[in-house]
Amino acid sequence: MASPRPSPGTTRGARVWDVPIRLFHWLLVALLGFSWWSGEQHLMDWHRLSGLTILALLLFRLYWGLVGSPTARFARFVRGPHAVLAYVRGQDATRAPGHNPLGGWSVVAMLVTLCAMVGAGLFAVDVDGLESGPLADYVSFDQGRLAAEIHGWVFNALLALVAVHVVAIVFYLVRGKNLTAQMITGRSQLPDPRPGAIDDHQAWLWKAVLGAAGAAAIAIAVARGFRF
């Protein structure tokens, strides 16, 4: 007689993050580091390519926040001031998987900052007018210079947000919640309450492919300055 198989709920944590979200997160981390390095080294062709790839990632994330898996949707984790205050006071009884009410707004702040940085970079022009973003032809030289300055200012703001993000990760790690591991494996340390359930990302695969194709098409159009 065969021995009973162990319950999936006791061997695997609950699924929290789907594959598209995890790919977005780690690609963004890598590309931000590369963008900083290429900018410091004045490798502007690579810097522009990296920025355009980040643009495609952001477009995909905005799309995925509307149609993606439950924990990826803005409607799931962007909550009002009352919910945020309740969480800060330890009075939030929902404990839904994914971003908490405070973390949800940090995600919004990060995405808005990234969009502002990339958007400014598209119109930026250097001091000599030799290097510029793909949409710089649509603005004057002075406006392009202002866009370049905004690009730098917003990057500094982004560094501050990243620092807060890292502090939050360390804070939760000390409290026994490894957020980095969750973003790698897609699962929490808590048992899966749905033994035998199909991984969520399979149900959203076709939407992810469609969104990635659309985001890439828009980024390519921007790279061409909308000239075909």
- Give tens-digit pLDDT for 86-134: 888 876 655 667 888 888 999 999 999 999 999 999 999 999 888 999 9
What are the structure tokens assigned to 38, written together?
């290429």
Asked if pLDDT for residue 224 goes beyond 90, the answer is yes
Distances (CA, A) of 91 to 82, 97, 166: 10, 16, 24
133: in domain: yes
Q: Is 98 left (phi over 0), alpha (psi -120 to 50) or beta?
A: left
Which single residue is written with the structure tokens 């939030």? 92
What pLDDT score was predicted for residue 187?
86
Residue 228: inside a domain: no
From the centroid of its chain, how far is CA 224? 25
pLDDT of residue 14: 77
- List residues bridging with 132 in a β-sheet: 125
Residue 80 lies in a domain: yes
Give a yes or no: residue 101 inside a domain. Answer: yes
State how many domains the chain has: 1
Stated pTM of the model: 0.88
DSSP 192: P
pLDDT at res. 5: 45
Residue 126 lies in a domain: yes
Question: Which three-class secondary structure state does DSSP give residue 191?
Answer: strand
Angle at CA of residue 207, ends 51 and 204, nearest 5°: 115
In a domain, 6, yes or no: no
134-138 mean pLDDT? 97
In a domain, 77, yes or no: yes
Q: Which domain holds residue 117?
A: 14-187+200-223
Q: Residue 111 is part of a domain; what is its CATH number?
A: 1.20.950.20
Is residue 7 scored above 60 in pLDDT?
A: no
* Per-residue confidence band for 195, with pLDDT thresholds at 50, 70 and 90: very low
Reference 208, options 65, 55, 104, 51; nearest CA is: 65
- In this structure, is residue 30 part of a structural domain? yes
pLDDT higher than threshold 60 for residue 3: no
Q: How confident is the model at residue 194 (pLDDT cuts 50, 70, 90)?
A: very low
Q: What is the pLDDT of residue 100?
A: 86
**Dist CA 201 CA 75 (whole Å):** 18
Task: Return d(Cα 157, Cα 165) in angstroms, integer.
Answer: 12
